[in-house]
A and B are shown apart, each in its own frame.
Chain A
Amino acid sequence: METLNYRFEQGQRRLAQPPQVVGVVSSGNLEVLIEEAALNGACEIKISTAAVGFGPIWQAVMQDFQQRWQLADTRISINDMGATPAVVSLRLDQAVQTMLGEAP
């Protein structure tokens, strides 16, 4: 297991919605919890992953995600079981779109 933490400051968009859980913890998949949190305008992402050594890829995926959505005061917790970046991005985008009711 590996734990990765990212924090992106000065987001623009708040998700004033009840917490949302998407995905499942199974091989090649992941579980995502998105919730509102008082973070001084930042978005914090914590990833627990079964696949060790993919830090740089996670960082790039999360940067692109935050660039698309500019989330503020949001905490995202990810339980990953070896999902590809494609699955990670799709799950996150679907969750945020559902909470915002819109596409980026």
Chain B
Amino acid sequence: MNARVWNTLQQNREERLQRARNVLGSDLAGKSLPAARIADLLHAVLENGDRVCLEGNNQKQADFLGHALANLNPERVHDLHMLQSVLALPEHLDVFERGVASQLDFSFSGPQAARVARLAAAGKLNIGAIHTYLELFGRYFVDLPPRVALVAAEAADRHGNLYTGPNTEDTPVIVEATTFKNGIVIVQVNRIVDELPRVDIPADWVDFVVQSPRPYYIEPLFTRDPAQISEIQVLMAMMAIKGIYAEYGIQRLNHGIGFDTAAIELLLPTYGESLGLKGKIARHWALNPHPALIPAIEAGWVDSVYSFGSELGMEEYIRARPDIFSVGPDGTMRSNRAFCQAAGHYACDMFIGSTLQIDMQGNSSTATAGRIAGFGGASNMGADARGRRHASPAWLKAGQEARQGSNAIPRGQKLVVQMVETFREHMQPAFVDRLDAWTLMEQADMAIPPVMIYGDDVTHILTEEGIANLLLCRSAEEREQAIRGVAGYTPVGLARDRRMVENLRDRGVIRRAEDLGIDQRLATRDLLAARSMKDLVRASGGLYDPPKRFRNW
């Protein structure tokens, strides 16, 4: 019997590096090569069928490397297995269109969702699974370690040390998973400098550095112009603050990305203040640096913010508020998506966010027919952390409500709030009998329908019609009527059992604005602490510098 070889990965790595050295010759200076040779490097190190992790999430993108990959010769490199947090750019799908890659495991594909569905239907793209971020990161270390990682950094020094700075995001997870399984790490940098502000990734975890002809693309995804917040969103924000934040005394939380939650952020220093809630709610956040949070921070509401990524234009504001944000010795922020997802899951008492569709069990999905969009972070934020053991008043109260009248052993529960207007744009009802996710499952031949947040994790549904507290429901029927009871004039809302809904209202399972003592006359845009981008800049003392597309002055 032949003795088993135990270091095939190391040997294979050496072969790849040797091929690269041979091809690049004197163009390779240390770890650095000219941008013009990137295709030669990729052809040299890639092998058919490789698992390739291309860094790209909902914020920063290794776009130069992604473009180079998409333009490789499919006769030389094909059937790559792409691992990606987010499919955001056209190049991310060109690799499948051109036959360079054929297999995909990912989390989210918002902007490219329709094209993902088309390519999957055409058989050019085979989806392994749609994941949440933490789940995908976890698999990088278990059964999906990348052979080659293509990542982005702000700057490198001559040795290959990297500064990833405020938008560190996914880089540490990808590089660690690749390096310690003897894969190859290739990084595009905006600049090569003699001395870095700080080292975020050490040089011996990096194999090749290429200075990109242009800075990596980054999306200001978390910037919400207060001018677009509606009065309905103000009303819903008032209900959220009074009916949920104050009710449970929520100190630690994560907000979704939409205008609904931006309205809450902008109501803390006004409406929240008038209710005497400062210091009692919303002190610690797992949140990107939302510009809409500036007025609350300036008014002294916020103790800390830990971020998944950064946000364009917030750099100087963050630098000037180091007590609030996670800032390195050099003065700039460091984000880390994996740690922040873990923080959002385990260290927060509440997640509140929007969705597109909710069914009568409370299952919530952003999948609509013909679009394979995926989940991103909401599924980890919006799930009870069953591994949690530390108590807090909000967590305990939610657990008590869910267990009232049963002899289950005491434990708490995470508050998971879905906040949605009953009708979306073009009068599309947000409440439905059957999620589009079922149709998508059939179209794309998935094992299960792609549900973003499962109904048994949802504790509250908040619409302009009121709050349904699902923790207090004692049967599937009650739960269904509680959901119908806040579904307004949608077909499923109109089909409610009016007597049962009134009964649920008497028991406080459903609470309408007037039940909460909210004066609807106050629900105007005047209640927002900032009503425009300019107001946000002013609130920051001129430190916030919004991207051009948000400037209209």
Contacts and interface: CB of A to CB of B under 8 A. Distances in A.
Interface centre among B421, B465, B489 (most CB of A within 10 A): B489
A97 B520 CA distance: 8
Interface residues of A, number: 18
Nearest to A95: B521
Interface string A84-96: 1111011001100
Contacts of B230: 87
B423 interface: yes
B423 A84 contact: yes
A61 B514 CA distance: 17
Given A51-B427, A60-B494, A103-B514, A85 B519 contact: no
B464 interface: yes
A57 B489 CA distance: 6
Contacts of A89: 464
Interface string B212-252: 00000000000000000011100100000000000000000
Name the prevailing secondary structure of the A interface residues.
helix
A87 B421 CA distance: 10
A17 interface: no
Nearest to B426: A82
A90 B489 contact: no
A1 B347 CA distance: 52
Given A51-B427, A60-B494, A104-B514, A86 B520 contact: no
A90 B519 CA distance: 11
A20 interface: no
A54 B427 contact: yes
A86 B421 contact: yes
Interface centre among A51, A61, A82, A87 (most CB of B within 10 A): A87
Contact of B427 (A60, A84, A103, A104): A84
Interface string A51-80: 100100100110000000000000000000
A12 interface: no
B488 interface: yes
A5 interface: no
Interface string B418-443: 00011100010000000000000000
Nearest to B230: A87
Contacts of A51: 427
Given A54-B427, A90-B520, A97-B521, A84 B514 contact: no
Given A54-B427, A104-B514, A94 B521 contact: yes
A78 to B, nearest CB: 15
Contacts of B231: 87, 90
Interface in B229-286: 230-232, 235
A103 B523 CA distance: 13
B235 A90 contact: yes
Interface string B481-505: 0000000110000100000000000
Given A60-B489, A103-B519, A90 B427 contact: no
B232 A84 contact: yes
A11 B504 CA distance: 28
A93 B520 CA distance: 8
Nearest to B518: A103
Contacts of B521: 94, 97-98
Contact of B520 (A60, A61, A94): A94
A60 B489 CA distance: 7
B526 to A, nearest CB: 12
Interface in B447-469: 463-465
A94 B235 CA distance: 12
Contact of A86 (B232, B514, B519): B232
Contacts of B464: 86, 89-90
A82 B425 CA distance: 10
Contacts of B488: 85-86
Nearest to B494: A60
Contacts of B232: 84, 86-87, 90
Given A57-B489, A60-B494, A84-B422, 14 more contacts: A51-B427, A61-B489, A84-B423, A84-B427, A85-B423, A85-B489, A86-B423, A86-B463, A87-B232, A94-B523, A97-B519, A98-B521, A103-B514, A103-B519
Interface of A: 51, 54, 57, 60-61, 82, 84-87, 89-90, 93-94, 97-98, 103-104
Interface of B: 230-232, 235, 421-423, 427, 463-465, 488-489, 494, 514, 519-521, 523
Nearest first, the 10 closest Cβ-Cβ pairs linking A and B are: A86-B464, A85-B489, A84-B423, A86-B232, A57-B489, A97-B521, A93-B520, A60-B489, A94-B521, A86-B421
